[in-house]
Structure 1
Amino acid sequence: MTKNVIFFCPHDDDLTIGGLGFALKLIDEGKSVIQVVFSKGAMSHPHFKEEVIKDIREKETEKVAKKIGLKKLIYFDLKDMSIKEEIEEKNIRGKIKELIEMHKPEKIITVSDSETHPDHRAVNEAVLAVADSLKKKYPVYAFSIWTRPRLAQRPIIYVDISNYFWKKMKILKQHRSQWFSIYLQFLPVIFRARYYGIKNKCRYAEKFEKVR
C-alpha cells in the first residue's frame, strides 16, 4: 500500500462538508490525499449559465485544494443530476479503476449509499462496483452529507478532528457560490461533529462507515 488516500465525491463541496477534518488530519500525517469530483454542480444555480457556475465552482475548489495541500484534484466533469447515466455512457468505472490501480490507495473514501441525492447514490454504486471487481481488495469507507449512514452490520469509525474542526469550518465558507446550501449545513455540521465527538470521547469528530 502507498500513502495515498482517494476521496471520490459527487460534487466539489462534498468533501468539505463530510470529510475535510479527516482529510486535513491525513495530510498532517504525511498522507497524499487525492480528491476526485464527478460533477461541478452546474445546476446548483438554475438562473445562471451552466458554464459560468462550473467555472466559479472549479476555481473555488482549486483554491481550497491548494490551501489544504491536496496531492491532486481530478474532475470527471459529468452533468449534474445525470451522473448515473453518464457513468455508463462515458465508461467512468474504467476511469475509477485506472485511478485506483495507479495510486494504490491505502484507503478509498466516498459518500454513503443512504444519501437521498441520486448523484450521491450513483457515485457510491460506481465506486463500490469497481472496488468489488478488483483482484486486490482495498478498504472502502463512506461518509454522509445530507443523511445519516445506515448502521446495521457495518463497523463505524469515529475520527478525532478536534485540532482541525474550525479550520474545516473556515474552509467551508470558501465555497461562496454555494452559500445557501452551505448556510443550511453550517449548524448541522457543527452539531454532528460535536455529537460524534461525544461518542468518541473527544471534542469534535467525523463519522465513517466501513463498507468494504
Structure 2
Amino acid sequence: MRRRLEAVAMENIIVFAPHPDDDIIGCGGSIARQLQQGNKVSIVYLTSGDAGSLKHIKRRMVQIREEEARKAAALLGVSELFFFRNPDGYLEFKRDNLVKIITLIREKRPIAVYIPHSKDQVRDHRVTHELVVEACHRAAGPWFQECEGQPWSVGNIFGYEVWTPLQDPAYVEDISEFMEVKLDALRLHRSQLEEIRYDEAIMGLNRYRGIMTGEGDYCECFELLRANISIKRGAL
C-alpha cells in the first residue's frame, strides 16, 4: 500500500546529486519548501557533470556546470554546496567517497537526506543511491575511525525521480507554489537544456503527479527508504 507522510519540522537537510541539475529536477520544489520552513539545505554533487556536452573539453565543462549549479542553488536560496568532482559517468562505490559522505553526515547531522531512487536507469544515479544509503548506515555506528565526527543516525531518506519515474511512490510533496522557481532554477542549467528540454519533461511529470495523486497542481514523489515520522495509510 502506498503511503503519504505528514509534514515534520526539520533542521539540517542534505541533498545528494550525481550531477549538477539532478537536485533541481528531482526535488527542487521540496528544497524550496524546506527553506521556506526555515531549514538549512546543503547540496552535494558527486560529479560536476564533465561529460554533459561534446562542445567543450571536460575541464571547461566542470567550470560551466559548477557555475550553473551555484546560480541555480542561489536562486532557490541554498548557499552551501559541495563538489566531490568524481568523473562523470564513472562514479564508483569506493572508500574515498564513503569516507567523505560519512564524515559530512556526522558533521552536518541532517534530519533527512534526498538521493536518486534505487531503480533509476542511469548508473551514476544508482551508485549515488548506494553510496549514500551505505554511508547513512555506517555514520550511525561507533565504527570507522577514519571518518571524523560522532555517530549520527539520519531519520529520513527520500529517493527522488530524475530519469526513471517511480512505479510505486511512497511520499508526495505538493510543490505547486514552488513550481515556477523550480523551473527558473533548472533553466539556469543552460548547457544541459540546449540538447534535452529537462524543464518541459519535469514540468509534465510533476503535473502528472499532482493530478494522479490529488495532492496539488504540481507534486514531487519519492521512494521512502527510512522514515522517523508518522505515517497516514491509504491510497495517494
Q: TM-score, length-normalised on structure 2?
A: 0.82
Q: What residue number does 2:44 align with?
A: 36
1:144 to 137, 140, 161: 161
Q: What residue number does 1:117 align with?
A: 122
TM-superposed CA distance for 1:47, in Å, is: 4.1
The 2-side partners of 1:167 and 1:103 are apart by 26
8 Å Cα contact 1:42-1:54 kept in structure 2: yes
Alignment of structure 1 residues 8-19 onto 2, 5 Å: 8-19=16-27
The 2-side partners of 1:72 and 1:105 are apart by 14
Tell whether 2:170 aligns with 1:156.
yes
SS in 1 for 2:31: helix
Cα gap change, 1:7/1:182 in structure 2, threshold over 3 Å: closer, same or farther? farther
8 Å Cα contact 2:170-2:223 kept in structure 1: yes
Larger RCO, structure (CA 8 Å, separation 6 or more)? 2
8 Å Cα contact 1:2-1:104 kept in structure 2: no
User: Quick one: which amino acid aligns to residue 100 of structure 1?
Assistant: I
The 2-side partners of 1:174 and 1:7 are apart by 18
Alignment of structure 1 residues 34-183 onto 2, 5 Å: 34-84=42-92, 87-88=93-94, 91-133=96-138, 134-135=140-141, 136-138=152-154, 139-151=156-168, 156-183=170-197
TM-superposed CA distance for 1:2, in Å, is: 6.4
TM-superposed CA distance for 1:65, in Å, is: 1.9
8 Å Cα contact 1:196-1:204 kept in structure 2: yes
Structure 1 or 2, whichever has the larger Rg, is: 2
Tell whether 2:205 aligns with 1:192.
yes
User: Quick one: which amino acid aligns to residue 196 of structure 1?
Assistant: R
User: Quick one: which amino acid aligns to residue 140 of structure 1?
Assistant: I
The 2-side partners of 1:63 and 1:188 are apart by 21
Unaligned runs of 5+ in 2: 1-8, 142-151, 227-236
Unaligned runs of 5+ in 1: none
Size of the aligned set, in residue pairs, is 205
The 1-side partners of 2:196 and 2:90 are apart by 22
- 1:42-90 superposed Cα distances (whole Å, 9 cap, x missing partner): 1111342101111011111111222221141001000011112xx42x6
Percent of aligned pairs sharing the same letter: 27
TM-superposed CA distance for 1:100, in Å, is: 0.6
SS in 2 for 1:210: strand
8 Å Cα contact 1:161-1:204 kept in structure 2: yes
